[in-house]
Structure 1
Amino acid sequence: MDPNVVAKLESGWCSLASSGSKSLIKKYLTKEVLEDLKRQKTSFGSTLLDCVRSGFEHHDSGVGIYAPDAEAYTVFAPIFDPIIEDYHKGFKPTDIHPAQDWGDVNALGNLDGENKYVISTRVRCARSLVGYPFNPLLTEVQYKDIEEKVSSTLDGLAGDLKGEFYPLTDMSKEVQQKLIDDHFLFKEGDRFLQAANASRFWPTGRGIFHNRDKTFLVWCNEEDHLRLISMQMGGNLGEVYKRLVTAVNDVEKTLAFSHHDRLGFLTFCPTNLGTTIRASVHIQLPKLAANKAKLEEVAAKYSLQVRGTRGEHTDAEGGVYDISNKRRMGLTEYQAVKEMYDGIKELIKIEKQS
């Protein structure tokens, strides 16, 4: 082990421990756990420092830890397991995530038949390719290799999923900004990801795929190797969910994804394991928005996460919130989406009665 790595871990830990941070990494990275893990390495070469550098740099992190490769969840289990249990509402080290189950794709309907509240609906999942580390350890060649595998697989999609892959390296700034403004494309600059070493060689190996109607998108090498996204205007969650399930099943025929018997699908961030499903709406709730405490209270009851219009670490623009299921582990894909469905229905009901 490089003594510089150990020294950075020790000084970073002392700084975090003496800070007012409320992060999960501060809560669970005790001196004993640090001593236990500070000289460990995965076969990809990642260390504890690769996991915690973002939380060490940003004491205002909510979680503060990322996995630099799939093995990190096992090698550094003494720190990942308690954080996973805390964030995922009691998913204990002895618990096993259920097998993939999309349920009845025709069972979910429209959240907002009146078209008064839900502006748009989106369901996405993340996937990591077997045999590659995650962002902090990817070489420039590996970024390009993943991009090639992903783009060639997506070129084979048919029907309403058929579309085109656009590498960021060939994309004009104008087109890039238009896609960002339309909430289609990811952007560089998240300080938490940058501190985690997740933005190396930007924009090499990054790209976006979308079908003709821009109702199905794939992000390549943003935070995870793959983000598969189904979205459309309005509140018809049933249509959005069915499209995503079809797409994931088609892509899985060609690409092998990193999966753990206990934790489910593995990704860069421990908040996004298991199903990795995030079902969300952009929704206007003016009365509830005026009473943020009430909004947060109802959201918590249904395990929903309330974020700004453009996602995490952003503000609500024009009173529009991004609200999604928070739980990803210990339940099936269908159950995760149904949890969001039930919670949004309840929020709309309260908004109408307010």
Structure 2
Amino acid sequence: MWKVKPPVAFPMEGRYRPILESLVPPDPMSQFHLKRGSPEEEFPDLGRNYTWMGRILTLAMYCRQFNRCTQSGVIFDDVIRPGLEEPGDWLCPMSVGCVAGDAQSYILFCDFFDRIIEAYHGQKVTSQTPESDFNYDNLKGGNDLDRSYAVRCEVSVVRGIEDFSFPTHCSRGERRQLLTLARRALQRLQEEELPGHLLLLEELNQEQQRELNMNLDHPSSSQLRTGVARDWPDARAVWVSKDGSLVVWVNMEDHLRLVSMRDDANIAEAFKCICINLQKLEEYYKALRHPFICKQQLGWVTSSPADVGTGLRITVHLKLQHLPKHKRLQDVLKRLRIRMDKTETPALYCVSNIATFGPSEVELTQLVVDGVKLLITMETRLEGNQDIDELVPTQK
């Protein structure tokens, strides 16, 4: 009877590693054989582009970025593609029109990203690390908004995880590793601080989606445009606290997005919830040897330059009848450094901060709190047919 001999064992990796390493070029860009023309031939048409990317990008700047490539394979055309596919509308607020594929993008393409950040946030990029302040006790007010006008509020913050590409560029393997890390970090949060449970998007039924107030069966146009919807809904998840105070989205537009919503419009409590749990998760991720991504000149960075610095968004839904029609509204909003958008509900408006870079977390939240209070005061004045000119703030 014939017996099959076992295969000869030898360290394949050790044998071939020197050969393989000799084939890896020092310049990552030289690994790609893209059929591209010269930078002048490849420069996009920006004539009808209403994004900050379209306003700032010049041929000279494009030429400087053209042959650069990050270690994970992000080239400059990947960065500007969202703004080319969605060029914006001159009647709407300008979007940044670009995304970062990984944290190295902010360094390699810094002469572009720094200009975008300065234009969008209205704050100069310097060598100093932006100030951070999570001491929620420093916030003044926020728990005393007039409920006749303030309907509800939401405070959210985004974070990127070190050693992984952002969702705009990451692979399936990276995304699944990020989900594994999130499971471990959120399990510790659940055991030590806040009970909750993790739900995979592919397992969510219609009733659970209604509870989250989102239709997650199909990715949004924004997610498709920026590239974060690849392999949808593979390795996407949402963690919900048992008391409903906190929701954590995993692998959506960013690695992590923490959201605290309140129907009583208590911004102070929502901000406190975010501060406490974000710092806890930061400790857990550090223990897992994958801390949150922070750059000296920019602070916390994620896929969108619109979120660098703090990654913090404070949103309040207001009932307003008269103020939206006032001729000085846009001037008021500009001076308050906040924005106001219509919702699907008549007379209900969404008020939020524009910038996330420059001011600290407490300062940004205070800015929205003070702005909302002033808008409510103006609305009550207009209801009584009174003038609001004396309430218009000086330019900040």
TM-score by length of 1: 0.89
Q: In the alignment, which of 143, 146, 150 is matched to residue 182 of structure 2?
A: 150
Quick one: structure 1 residues 107 and 57, their matched pair in 2 at CA, closer, same or farther if it must change by over 3 Å?
closer
Instruction: Give the equivalent residue in structure 1 for 2:240.
Output: 210
Q: Indicate yes or no: 2:106 matched with 1:73.
A: yes
CA contact (8 A) 2:157 2:312 kept: yes
CA contact (8 A) 1:263 1:329 kept: yes
1:177 positional shift = 4.1
Q: In the alignment, which of 339, 344, 348 is matched to residue 372 of structure 2?
A: 344
Q: Indicate yes or no: 2:319 matched with 1:284.
A: yes
> 1:138-287 alignment to 2 at 5 Å?
138-158=170-190, 161-181=194-214, 188-255=218-285, 256-287=291-322
1:325 positional shift = 1.3
Alpha-carbon separation, structure 2, partners of 1:96 and 1:131: 23
1:194 positional shift = 1.6
Alpha-carbon separation, structure 1, partners of 2:64 and 2:138: 49
- Aligned-partner residue type, residue 329 of structure 1: F
Quick one: structure 1 residues 235 and 178, their matched pair in 2 at CA, closer, same or farther if it must change by over 3 Å?
closer
Alpha-carbon separation, structure 1, partners of 2:41 and 2:250: 35
Instruction: Give the equivalent residue in structure 2 for 1:30.
Output: 58
Q: Indicate yes or no: 2:338 matched with 1:304.
A: yes
CA contact (8 A) 1:186 1:222 kept: no
Classify the secondary structure of the residue corresponding to 1:69.
coil
Alpha-carbon separation, structure 2, partners of 1:186 and 1:252: 27
Q: Percent identity?
A: 26
- Aligned-partner residue type, residue 142 of structure 1: E
> 1:57-136 alignment to 2 at 5 Å?
57-60=85-88, 62-92=95-125, 94=126, 96-105=128-137, 107-110=139-142, 112-136=144-168
1:288 positional shift = 1.3
1:268 positional shift = 0.6
Q: In the alignment, which of 49, 54, 70 is matched to residue 21 of structure 1?
A: 49
Alpha-carbon separation, structure 1, partners of 2:295 and 2:355: 18
- Aligned-partner residue type, residue 40 of structure 1: R
Instruction: Give the equivalent residue in structure 1 for 2:349.
Output: 321
CA contact (8 A) 1:303 1:326 kept: yes
Classify the secondary structure of the residue corresponding to 2:247.
strand
1:160 positional shift = 7.1
1:47 positional shift = 0.5
Classify the secondary structure of the residue corresponding to 2:304.
coil
Count the aligned residue pairs: 341
CA contact (8 A) 1:102 1:333 kept: yes
CA contact (8 A) 2:127 2:296 kept: no
Q: Indicate yes or no: 2:86 matched with 1:53.
A: no
- Aligned-partner residue type, residue 157 of structure 1: L
Q: Which runs of 5+ in 1 are unaligned?
A: 310-315
CA-to-aligned-CA distance 1:86-111 (integer Å, 9 cap, x gap) = 1111323x353424211343643345
Quick one: structure 1 residues 263 and 186, their matched pair in 2 at CA, closer, same or farther if it must change by over 3 Å?
farther
- Aligned-partner residue type, residue 156 of structure 2: R
Quick one: structure 1 residues 146 and 348, their matched pair in 2 at CA, closer, same or farther if it must change by over 3 Å?
same
1:126 positional shift = 0.4
Q: Which runs of 5+ in 2 are unaligned?
A: 1-28, 89-93, 286-290, 383-396
- Aligned-partner residue type, residue 59 of structure 1: P
Alpha-carbon separation, structure 1, partners of 2:368 and 2:152: 14
Alpha-carbon separation, structure 1, partners of 2:217 and 2:194: 23
Alpha-carbon separation, structure 2, partners of 1:186 and 1:297: 37
- Aligned-partner residue type, residue 248 of structure 1: L
Quick one: structure 1 residues 169 and 24, their matched pair in 2 at CA, closer, same or farther if it must change by over 3 Å?
same
Structure with larger Rg: 2
Alpha-carbon separation, structure 2, partners of 1:270 and 1:8: 27
Instruction: Give the equivalent residue in structure 2 for 1:313.
Output: none
